[in-house]
Structure 1
Amino acid sequence: MTVRTTHTEITFKRPFMLSAFDARQPAGTYRLSVDEEEIFGLSFLAYRRKATVLQTPAISVTSSRHQTVEVDPEELAAALDADALASRTVEE
């Protein structure tokens, strides 16, 4: 089984909440890792998402407590969209 991991950073301009957390998370830039495994038997290269993991606290926060939490990618995308919409509304 071939697994690949993609590391990116995502930024929330406002505090946000996801069901994987007990409390709202502060605005900031967070590290995000996505694990995917290769789908065999196809005539082309394809991958299936296996895990989406968000690391807390935000990169800019100094803390002795670090946590890696698996999050729902659709819920995360919706939270990022809502954050972007709220930020645009305030700027206008």
Structure 2
Amino acid sequence: MTIRSRRETVHFKHPFRIRGIERVFPAGSYEVVTDEESIEGLTFSAYRRIATMVTVPAEGSCGATEMLSIGSIDLANAQAADASTAHD
């Protein structure tokens, strides 16, 4: 089994929440890491997502960060809510 990690930066224009995390994060750019494992036995390369994590400011620490495990759907919902917010 092969595992690969993809990194991307997501941007939020407004403060946001992610389901399952009991705090509000400030607007800004956030690094998201997605781990995927290969699906064995196929005649083509395919991967399935096994983890999604986001790097956020640590609670109560100035300048420190922490990586939190989140659901990919929860991240997509937070991005959609941010995009639909009318206040720029």
Across the two proteins, how many residue pairs are aligned to each other?
85
The answer to whether the Cα contact below 8 Å between 1:31 and 1:55 also exists between their aligned partners in 2 is yes
Q: Secondary structure at the match of 1:5?
A: strand
Task: Tell me the amino acid that sits aligned with residue 27 of structure 1.
Answer: A
Please tell me the root mean square deviation across aligned C-alpha atoms, in Å.
1.7
Which consecutive aligned stretches of 4+ in structure 1 deviate over 3 angstroms post-superposition?
none
Aligned-pair identity in percent equals 37
Structure 2: stretches of 5+ with no match in the other structure: none
TM-score where L is the length of structure 1:
0.84
Q: Which has the higher strand share?
A: 2
Partner residue, 1:49 = 49
Structure 1: stretches of 5+ with no match in the other structure: none
Q: Which has the higher helix share?
A: 1
TM-score where L is the length of structure 2:
0.88
Partner residue, 2:65 = 66
Partner residue, 1:35 = 35
